[in-house]
Amino acid sequence: MASRVHPLLVAFLVVLLVGTCQARPAPGKAASSSSSGVVDGITAIYNFGDSISDTGNYLREGAAAGAMMEHTVAPPYGAAIGGATGRCSDGYLMIDYLAKDLGLPLLNPYLDKGADFTHGVNFAVTGATALDAAALARIGVAAPHTNSSLSVQLQWFRDFMSATTKSPAEVRDKLASSLVIVGEIGGNDYNYAFAANRPRPGGRSAADVGRMVTGVVESVVLVPEVVRSVVGAAREVLEMGATRVVIPGNFPLGCAPSYLAAVDETERAAYDGNGCLVGLNLFAQMHNVLLQQGIRELRRSYPEATVAYADYFGAYVRMLERAREMGFDGTALTNACCGAGGGKYNFEMERMCGAGGTAVCARPEERISWDGVHLTQRAYSVMAELLYHKGFASPAPVKFPHQ
Name the residue type at position 382. Answer: V
**Whole-angstrom Cα distance, residue 217 to residue 153?**
28
Residue 374 designated active-site: yes
**Whole-angstrom Cα distance, residue 234 to residue 238?**
6
**Whole-angstrom Cα distance, residue 86 to residue 95?**
14
Residues facing 245 on adjacent strands: 180, 307
Question: Length of the chain, please?
Answer: 403
Question: Which of 391, 360, 318, 397 has its CA nearest to residue 91?
Answer: 360
Look up residue 338 and give its DSSP letter.
E
User: Does residue 348 have a cis peptide bond before it, meaning omega lies within 30 degrees of 0?
Assistant: no
Active-site entry in 50, 51, 149, 369: 51
Residue 6 designated active-site: no
Cα angle 181, 187, 193 (rounded to 5 degrees) comes to: 150
Q: Which residues of 48-60 are buried (b: 16+ CB within 10 A; e: fewer)?
A: bbbbbbbbbbbbb
**Whole-angstrom Cα distance, residue 150 to residue 361?**
34
- Beta strands 306-310 and 120-122: pairing type? unpaired
Active-site entry in 54, 90, 264, 371: 371
**Whole-angstrom Cα distance, residue 204 to residue 148?**
36
Q: Indicate which residues carry an active-site annotation.
A: 51, 371, 374
